[in-house]
Structure 1
Amino acid sequence: MNDQLKAIFVKAKLNFAILAIILLIAILGKLTNPELSNAIFLSADQLVSELYLVFIAITLGAFVPNFKLVAFGSVGVFVAAVALVELNVFHYFTIEYLFAVLIVVLGFASIANLYRHYREYGL
């Protein structure tokens, strides 16, 4: 394997891990609870048309130098939002909707960060 590709894989292992986890969630969701999985991924598909969310995710992935902050910060905001939903602070959100937002943000941020690593090597 090319040394540049090895370097990209080493630098972007968190990106690949996040994308693999999203794929694993989709597969396990289809096997265990297809109705809930379909609802979550349908919401995520509809969220992609919300361009401001996609632009924010791409900007976070492409321009924040430490991608761990983006990944763990997104999960932290998700956990805080779920806690606020459970405390009835947010009445119009559901946990499934927030999970769909998390999937969209982490997916697009991971791809944008992966592309940034790719462009560094001029491949």
Structure 2
Amino acid sequence: MNDQLKTILLKAKLNFAILALILIIAVLGKFINPEFTNTVFVTADQLVSDLYIVFIAITLGAFIPNFKLVAFGSIAAFVAAVALVHFGVFSYLTVDYLFAVLIVILGFASIANLYRHYREFGL
């Protein structure tokens, strides 16, 4: 295997893990809870048309050097928001909407960060 490809794969392990996890959630969700999964991915599809969320995700993935901060920070913000929904602070939000936002943010940030690693080598 090419040394540059090995280096990209080593640097982008977290990116590939996040993208694989989104795929696993989609596949397993269809068997475990298809209604929830369908709601989440339809909402995520609608969120992609709201370009400001996509721009925020791409900016996070492309310009923050430590991608672990983006990934774990997004997950921590999701957990905090779900807790606030559970306690009734955010009565207008739902867990499936927040999960769709998390999927969109992590997916686009992972792709942007992966592209950043790819561009470092000028391939």
| TM-score band, normalised by shorter chain | over 0.9
Partner of 1:110: 110
Code of the aligned partner of 1:110:
S
- State TM-score, norm by structure 1: 0.99
Paired residue type of 1:8 = I
Query: What is the Cα deviation at residue 12 of structure 1?
Result: 0.2
**Structure 1 residues 8-23: aligned runs within 5 Å:** 8-23=8-23
Q: Which amino acid aligns with 1:92?
A: Y
- Structure 1 portions without partners, runs of 5+: none
Matched residue count:
123
Map of 1:122 onto structure 2: 122
Matched residue SS, 1:48:
helix
Q: How far did 1:94 drift? A: 0.2
Counterparts of 1:1-123 in structure 2 under 5 Å? 1-123=1-123
Shift of 1:33: 1.3
CA distance in structure 1 between the aligned counterparts of 2:69 and 2:33, rounded to whole angstroms:
31
Question: CA separation in 2, counterparts of 1:53 and 1:22?
Answer: 17
Residues of 1 paired with 2:58 and 2:109: CA distance?
5
Q: How far did residue 34 of structure 1 move?
A: 1.1
User: What's the RMSD between the two structures over aligned residues?
Assistant: 0.5
Unmatched tracts of structure 2, length 5 or more: none
1:76 and 1:100 mapped to 2: Cα distance? Answer: 15
- Aligned-pair distance for 1:50? 0.8
CA distance in 2, matches of 1:79, 1:11: 26
Q: Distance in 2 between matches of 1:28 and 1:52?
A: 29
Large movers: runs of 4+ above 4 Å = none
Could you tell me how far apart the structure 1 residues matched to 2:32 and 2:88 are? 28
